[in-house]
């Protein structure tokens, strides 16, 4: 979000970056730690792991349970068909 267009106190083309960056970094770190903790409990089985990834086409986050040995996707939210529908809507809309 560009705050310079909203902030009437901005005095130049280079307004200071918002402090949100540090908050988002801490938030991402917490998510990574939580995923590692879940994977450490083997909640999805000893052979599987939970992964959060960003779909490159829709730019949306996807949660997957993946077999560590075969790399097979066992489950995914949102499902692949939903991601492709979102991409189709984005490109035709």
Q: Which of 41, 38, 40 is nearest to 52 (CA)?
A: 38
Q: Give the pLDDT confidence score for residue 86 in this predicted structure.
A: 85
**Structural domain count, the chain:** 1
Q: Are 83 and 73 in contact (CB under 8 A)?
A: no
Domain carrying residue 68? 20-92
CA-CA distance, 19 to 71, in Å (whole number)? 38
Give pLDDT, residue 74.
95
Judge whether 10 lies within some domain: no
Q: What is the mean pLDDT of each run of 10 residues along the chain (93 residues)?
A: 44 58 86 90 93 86 94 94 87 78
The answer to whether the CB of 67 falls within 8 A of the CB of 48 is yes
In a domain, 31, yes or no: yes
Give the pLDDT score at 31.
85
């Amino acid at each position: 979000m560009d705050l310079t267009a909203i902030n009437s106190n901005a005095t130049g083309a280079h307004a200071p970056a918002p402090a949100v960056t540090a908050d988002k970094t801490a938030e991402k770190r917490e998510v990574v730690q939580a995923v590692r903790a879940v994977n450490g409990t083997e909640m999805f089985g000893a052979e599987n792991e939970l992964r959060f990834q960003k779909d490159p086409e829709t730019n949306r986050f996807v949660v997957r349970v993946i077999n560590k040995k075969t790399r097979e996707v066992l489950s995914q939210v949102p499902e692949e068909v939903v991601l492709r529908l979102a991409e189709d809507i984005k490109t035709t809309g």
